[in-house]
A and B are shown apart, each in its own frame.
Chain A
Amino acid sequence: MTDQGYLTDLNDWSREVATNIAEEEEISLTEEHWPVLEYLQNQHKQEIPLTIRKVGKSGIVDIKGFYALFPGGPLKKASRIAGIPKPASCI
């Protein structure tokens, strides 16, 4: 794990790990969170840089919904819970 709490290897990820990280972020995961986390993981596996705009166009969640699911910094928090690196995007 990095000093900012991001997993360094996605193979270490499980739903249990995600639930624990989410608790640290004060988020309790629901059925609505999982498809978003899976989407982020798939994008990461395809080496596609993540942006809020792309998440909004994913068809899985809109931007308002993304902010509601992961309040206080959605892309950063969701990436951390999904076990992928901290996003380097400014948008």
Chain B
Amino acid sequence: MKQKATKVETTKVKKMMLILSKATIDNVYACFILANGARMEGIEAEIFFTFFGLEAVQKKKIEHLHVATVGNPAMHIPTLLGGLPGMESFATNMMKKEMEKLDIPPVGEFIEILEASGAKLWACKLAMDMFHLKREDLVDEISDVITVGEFYTKAQGDNTHLMFI
């Protein structure tokens, strides 16, 4: 019996390391819900924002994230139609309304919730340099700007899972 209990303990997920590389709102939410869901289960969660994922934590961009209506087969609308002016805003607003009904917070508030829950948020140094971004361009909840090597160091330990979004 005791042996069984030990086995359960060692196979439990202890830490989720999520890498967000995209800024379409569906990807951002997938990442945040996974991180928040981990914290709700008592699992540690850290997010590494890299490349376009950095848009989700830039003060100026945070309220302007969109769902992709072009090149997204799941939208089930013709590509030409998806490219019309206003289509992305329309689809994004529809999605935001549905999410609000389910009590899913807007991106900015979600970041505050993640920080309050103890999730760690990191910005990728290389992508910051590439996009000429400064620390002050990012929301205060970002813990630090780090290299990929430093991110891997933080991933050390048993039962850590890495996920690329």
Contacts and interface: CB of A to CB of B under 8 A. Distances in A.
Do A and B associate with each other? Answer: yes
Interface of A: 49, 51-54, 56, 62-64, 67, 71-76, 89-91
B103 A71 contact: no
A56 B33 contact: no
A80 to B, nearest CB: 13
Given A73-B41, A74-B40, A51 B117 contact: no
Contacts of A89: 103
Interface in B7-44: 33, 36-37, 39-42
Contacts of B39: 67
Contacts of B36: 52, 91
Contacts of A90: 33, 37
Contacts, number: 42
Given A90-B33, A90-B37, A91-B37, A71 B42 contact: yes
A76 B104 contact: no
Given A52-B36, A72-B42, A91-B33, A67 B117 contact: yes
Contacts of B116: 56, 62-64, 67
Given A56-B113, A73-B40, A91-B37, 13 more contacts: A49-B103, A52-B36, A52-B113, A52-B117, A56-B116, A67-B118, A71-B42, A74-B40, A76-B41, A91-B33, A91-B36, A91-B102, A91-B105
A53 B113 CA distance: 8
A63 B109 CA distance: 12
Output the residue of A71, A89, A90 with the most chain B CB within 10 A.
A90
Interface in B93-134: 102-105, 109, 113, 116-118
A63 B117 contact: yes
A73 B105 CA distance: 19
A76 B37 CA distance: 11
A91 B39 CA distance: 10
18 contacts: A52-B40, A52-B117, A53-B109, A53-B113, A54-B103, A62-B116, A63-B116, A64-B116, A67-B116, A71-B42, A72-B42, A73-B41, A73-B42, A74-B40, A90-B37, A91-B37, A91-B103, A91-B105
